[in-house]
Structure 1
Amino acid sequence: MIDLLRGWLRARPRTADLAAALTCFALSAPVAAGTAYRHHSPMAWSIGGLALACVPLIARTRRPAPTVAATLAVNVAQILLLAFPGASPIATGVAVHAVAVRTDRRRAWRIAGCAAAVLLATSVVREPGLDNIWQHLAVIAGMCLAAASGDAVRSRRRLLVSALERAERAERTREVEARRRVTEERLRIARELHDVVAHHITLVNAQAGVAHHLMRTDPDHAYQALERIRDTSRTALDELRTTVGLLRYRDDPAAPREPTPGLAHLDGLLDSFRHSGLHLTVERAGRPTELPPITDLAAYRIIQEALTNTRKHAGPVPVRVQLDHRPDALRITVEDDGPTAPQTSVDDGADSAPGTGHGMIGMRERAKAAGGTLTAGPRPTGGFRIHTELPLRIDRKAPAP
């Protein structure tokens, strides 16, 4: 209920100022009347002076500093014309509180000190001596309390605003991070599905062409091609099932997981391309070492995509695959002797060149995810060349493939 009333008053500052003025008068009137009676001062003058001191409070929100000056002027007049009414500085204290809430700390304390000094000087002029020392100390304490309470309210409001801003900023950051992760996951899924589908469909298409060509002249070899189509399609379905299963049960630690392909499966991959008509030679250098999973998968997929592109765009041409195992990196080069495609080279960090397609983009993204680089482009002597260098130590900030 109190919070609702505060919210309602904050939305209506003029009404809040009027309520503050009336509340100040209502709470101070009994004290002012008692003080006037004790000092044998006119009751009407004391109550009237208090009311006059409370009137400027209706502008305390819009003009806090002039409000302090107006209430202070009324207090000075009360002190000089009447006996010192102890309740009269309360309106000035309320005005000082409003100044402290709406200005900076230094200015608030400066105004509070000036108000206390004016009231003390006026009181000393009116009644010299130390008889009213406790009243003087009460005036100083009242002004200090008003400034301190207003400063505390201002600091609390500032902290609340700052906390709200941090919460909103954190919420926006979480939303941006969530969108970024969704985008990365979408790209990862797209790469996996593209690599699986494009590779096997290319092989099925090539083997179907061989079967069609040999169906009448060499039925035995055509039958073998059909068997390879069957095996390739079954392998494609198995890899699709594995990929979809990993996506579906990725967050379930109890879900079954199948090993992702790596260079350990490279011989089977090369054999499938040899059956499709590619004349493959493999050159290995260096001493093979155990690769990080992200690097192993990236190496396998890059070779797979490079050979798929060669079979799709260049046909059954000679292809050389070179694997150079170095202490700090794995270098992979895939070169073919096919016709030079009218496309520019693509390197790490550059935009995809015309004609490269999603496969080239996926290879570059996989190399980046593994912390490596990839360059691709036509060879001066004809054909196409893809070269990638994958480090053996992965930066932990690198995104998942």
Structure 2
Amino acid sequence: MPAQGNALTRCRDWLRAHPLACDAVLAAAVLGAMVLGSFVEPHGDGTGPTFSARTPRPLSVVLMVVGAAALVARRRAPVRVLVCTGAAAVSDFAAGDPHAPVAMSTVVALYTVASRTDRPTTWRVGLATMAVLTAAAMSFGSAPWYTQQNLGVFAWTGMAAAAGDAVRSRRAFVDAIRERAERAERTREEEARRRVAEERLRIARDLHDVVAHHIALVNVQAGVAAHVMDRRPDQAKEALAHVREASRRALDELRATVGLLRQSGDPAAPTEPAPGLAVLDDLLEGFRHAGLPVRVARTDQDTHLPAAVDLAAYRIVQEALTNVRKHAGPGATAEVSVLRVGRTVEVTVLDDGGTAAPAAPAEGPAPARGEPDRPGVRAPAAR
């Protein structure tokens, strides 16, 4: 069954790509039907139609060929093809040969006109064709005007016009639905692009405001601190405090702004927690396995620190022990102390320098918050 469906699909696609060949095949089929119909006796022996031995006249054969050949151009000139086939059918009726159904080609041409034009044209052309063919059949036929053959001409032309109009309406409906769907898709894409552009512009504006304002403030305060560092250290400390506060606000606002760039499917937080003093023992154990003896003294158990302070203290210990491991002499030992003093946490890392002379305490980079007042690093804890 799937193979048959694929074959039908390929055949249909080929016919759509070659409309002239499709019309030629249809014309040949109509010609064959007309030729076979010309040998059929409608009344037969009283029980139904029979296939008689009577052959159509040569003029009727010519008219059938002309009517079928005209159907090849039915897509390019439907009205002209209808006029040509209608004239051939009227001529066949006038010839008085009831065995030549040339009107069959006119029915196909009328269907084409109805399916490729508008409804008013279908009504006008359909009624005219029905009237002309029915009148010709009634006027030139040897049988009475009310015979089935005459009523059949009227019915077939009417059904051809109705079928063509229905096909045209359905085709227009499908095209309208397709066009509406494509327009809706384009509208959604354009709306999405517009919203993305607006969001990018807003985020860029926010980033500019955050970076420009706070960095300018940091620059000014740093310049003031450098200028008065030697003569007025108190004012320099105050300027550095302003620098620290401005940078903290800039980082917070920058973090909030960049957080807007998170995709809808991204997790709200990392799947793994950031390292902190809670896993300090694991860090020290790793250095011990690497050959650096480390002693630890802690009084910060059961202490809750802000995430940024906790991470900063962890990184300070990590960097200091890394420097001891890389630059101290062989056989060096280190000592790490983490002390809670009021609202601050004091982190100190010392090493004995190995076989060399005792070295000064190794200090990590200054934390984001808090000020050192002794060797080591302090970071304020949560209230």
The answer (yes or no) to whether the contact 2:134–2:151 under 8 Å persists in 1 is no
Whole-Å separation in 2 of the counterparts to 1:203 and 1:212:
14
Q: CA deviation at 1:94?
A: 0.4
Matched with 1:12 is 18
Question: Partner of 2:150 in structure 1?
Answer: 136
Preserved contact between residue 130 and residue 157 of structure 2 (Cα < 8 Å): yes
Q: For residue 26 of structure 1, what is the aligned residue in structure 2?
A: 32
**Partner in structure 2 of residue 171 of structure 1:** 185
Q: Residue type matched to 1:87 in 2?
A: P
Q: CA offset at residue 222 of structure 1?
A: 1.0
Counterpart-to-counterpart distance in 1, 2:165 and 2:232: 97
Contact 1:36 1:42 (C-alpha < 8 Å) held by counterparts:
no
Alignment gaps of 5+ in structure 2: 1-6, 45-51, 270-383
Name the residue aligned to 2:224.
210
Query: Are the aligned partners of 2:64 and 2:100 in contact in 1 as well (CA < 8 Å)?
Result: no
User: In the alignment, is the contact (CA less than 8 A) between 2:23 and 2:72 conserved in 1?
Assistant: yes
Deviations 1:344-380 (A, max 9, x none): xxxxxxxxxxxxxxxxxxxxxxxxxxxxxxxxxxxxx
Which of the numbers 122, 125, 132 marks the counterpart of 1:111? 125
Residue number in structure 2 paired with 1:156: 170
What code does the residue aligned with 1:23 have?
A
- Structure 1 segments unaligned to the other structure (5+ residues): 257-401
Matched position secondary structure for 1:43? coil
State the match for 1:231 in structure 2: 245
Compared CA separation, residues 41 and 78, structure 1 to 2 (3 A):
farther
Q: Are the aligned partners of 1:94 and 1:146 in contact in 2 as well (CA < 8 Å)?
A: yes
User: Highest CA radius of gyration, 1 or 2?
Assistant: 2
Secondary structure at the aligned position of 2:102 is classed as: coil
When normalised by structure 1's length, the TM-score is 0.57
Which shifted more, 33-42 or 56-65?
A: 33-42
1:76 aligned partner: 90
Task: Name the counterpart of 1:51.
Answer: 65
Aligned residue pair count: 256
Aligned-partner Cα distance in 2 for 1:234–1:206: 16
Tell me how far apart the structure 1 counterparts of residues 126 and 66 of structure 2 sit (CA, whole Å).
20
Q: 2:260 is matched with which residue?
A: 246
Between the aligned partners of 2:115 and 2:143, the Cα distance in structure 1 is: 35
Per-residue CA deviations over 1:48-69 (Å, capped at 9, x if unaligned) read 5433432221221222122122
Q: Residues 41 and 83 of structure 1 are in contact (CA less than 8 Å); yes or no, is this contact kept in structure 2? A: no
Q: Is the 8 A contact 2:75 2:112 kept in 1?
A: yes
On the 8 A contact 2:221/2:243 being kept in 1, the answer is yes
Matched, 1:35 2:41: yes
Shift of 1:132: 4.2
Distance 1:29 1:36 in 2: 14
**Sequence identity percentage:** 44
Q: CA, structure 1 residues 195+43, in 2 after alignment: closer, same or farther (shift >3 Å)?
A: same
| Residue deviations 1:63-91 (CA, integer Å, cap 9, x gap) | 21221222222222222223323733111
